[in-house]
């Protein structure tokens, strides 16, 4: 019998099943989006596949009633955990008027939903980081016991916003957790052509904060790291940099062909560590997930995604005049 690791983290069997279900939901929505894209129904997909464990493990460690998240485009697992629904994600994929992110005016993956404290992001990578630091500054100034959580890719950690934001957070000891989702590529560029240091987390020392590199295929490891970072932040001990290492299982986006720059063997090798399988195996070995529960989860997820797809496909587009809404203030 595999050792039960979730008990020690304060997670019940129901909690870890919920984590698994959210990871499965994210994966299956993503897979459906590729089918819809290839059949000409939606224009673009940017995948979470391979990063679900990082996203869901981290989001579960936050307080979903008070914390703020500034997710990046792959973070379907984060926004699902924070309350965005599969139907809302599909409305965004189909660019329909009811899309909560932008009313169908932005590309998919540009998440933003005020009621769930999901910050609106923009397309230049890493701009979300100073925004998240700003939320943490506001929380500190107003003495609110909450944290701000921001994610980005490892390639994006070379943007100026990363250094400026983290330095400011370190100087002012702000309650912000930065999680770099290192999926080993920035479009076609592999890690060793992007970053000179062994780990992205090595940079934390320069900003006066702790830095950790963790297994991003293990949702429990991610949960543990983010939970500890949250506690430090709430106790006034300041920010943390976490680098969660996994692998991008799909091409960069639906407009990219990754066969041009990486070997199939490498992708096949990475699939052996796919968290959807390894976490399911862990849950089975610890007696949490049975064949019966697994089948019921798959059936439910499929039903939810079918309903979300049908709803979004049949929903109305925005009115042309809505294109100018909220663009300029009055």
Ligand X SMILES: Cc1ncc(C[n+]2csc(CCOP(=O)(O)OP(=O)(O)O)c2C)c(N)n1
Total residues in contact with ligand X, by rule CB under 6 A: 16
Report the residue from 10, 124, 236, 287 that binds ligand X according to the rule CB under 6 A: 124
Residue 284 falls in which region: left (phi positive, over 0), alpha (psi -120 to 50) or beta: alpha
Q: Which helix (H) or strand (E) holds 3?
A: none
The residue range among 100-108, 154-162, 203-211, 295-303 that interacts with ligand X, by the rule CB under 6 A, is 154-162
CB of 197 to ligand X, least distance (A): 15
DSSP E strands, 71-223: 148-153, 176-182, 185-186, 189-190, 211-215
Report the residue from 54, 156, 178, 201 that binds ligand X according to the rule CB under 6 A: 156
CB of 247 to Mg ion, least distance (A): 10
The residue range among 17-25, 31-39, 179-187, 315-323 that interacts with ligand X, by the rule CB under 6 A, is 179-187
Report the residue from 108, 112, 153, 238 that binds Mg ion according to the rule CB under 5 A: 153
Query: Measured from the CB atom, is 255 or 263 closer to ligand X?
Result: 255
CB of 183 to ligand X, least distance (A): 5
Residues annotated as catalytic are 248, 252, 261
Query: Measured from the CB atom, is 123 or 319 closer to ligand X?
Result: 123
* 169, 204 contact by CB (below 8 A): no
* 153, 181 contact by CB (below 8 A): yes
Query: Measured from the CB atom, is 22 or 156 closer to ligand X?
Result: 156
Cα within 13 Å of Cα(205), Cβ side? 3
Residue 190 interacts with ligand X (CB under 6 A)? no
The one of ligand X, Mg ion, none whose footprint includes residue 187, by CB under 5 to 8 A per kind, is ligand X
Q: Name the percent of the chain in helix, strand, coil, to the closest 5.
A: 50, 10, 40
Residue 183 interacts with Mg ion (CB under 5 A)? yes
Residues 6+ away with beta carbon under 8 Å from 150: 69, 70, 71, 128, 129, 131, 132, 133, 176, 177, 178, 179
Q: Which residues bind ligand X (CB under 6 A)?
A: 74, 123-125, 152-156, 159, 183, 185-187, 248, 252
């Amino acid at each position: 019998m595999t050792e039960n690791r979730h008990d020690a983290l304060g997670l019940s069997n129901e909690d870890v099943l919920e984590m698994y279900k959210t990871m499965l939901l994210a994966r299956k929505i993503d897979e459906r989006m590729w089918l819809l894209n290839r059949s000409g129904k939606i224009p673009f997909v940017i995948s979470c596949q391979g990063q679900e464990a990082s996203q869901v493990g981290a989001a579960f460690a936050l307080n979903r009633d008070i914390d703020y998240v500034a997710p990046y485009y792959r973070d379907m697992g984060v926004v699902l955990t924070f309350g965005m629904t599969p139907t809302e994600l599909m409305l965004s994929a189909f660019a329909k008027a009811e899309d909560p992110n932008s009313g169908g005016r932005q590309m998919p993956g540009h998440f933003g939903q005020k009621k769930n404290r999901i910050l609106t992001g923009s397309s230049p990578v890493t701009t979300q980081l100073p925004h998240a630091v700003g939320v943490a500054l506001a929380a500190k100034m107003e003495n609110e016991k909450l944290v701000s959580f921001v994610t980005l890719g490892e390639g994006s950690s070379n943007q100026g916003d990363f250094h400026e934001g983290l330095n400011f957070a370190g100087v002012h000891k702000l309650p912000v957790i930065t999680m770099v989702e290192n999926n080993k590529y920035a479009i076609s560029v592999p890690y060793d052509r992007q970053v000179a240091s062994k780990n992205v987390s090595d940079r934390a020392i320069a900003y006066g904060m702790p830095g950790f590199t963790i297994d991003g295929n293990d949702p429990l490891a991610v949960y543990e790291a983010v939970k500890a970072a949250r506690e430090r932040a709430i106790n006034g001990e300041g920010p943390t940099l976490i680098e969660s290492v996994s692998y991008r299982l799909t091409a960069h986006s639906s407009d990219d062909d990754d066969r041009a720059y990486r070997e199939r063997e490498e992708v096949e090798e990475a699939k052996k560590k796919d968290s959807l399988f390894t976490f399911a195996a862990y849950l089975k070995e610890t007696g949490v997930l049975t064949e019966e529960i697994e089948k019921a989860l798959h059936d439910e997820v499929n039903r939810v995604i079918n309903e979300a797809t049908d709803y979004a496909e049949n929903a109305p587009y925005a009115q042309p005049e809505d294109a100018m809404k909220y663009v300029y203030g009055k």
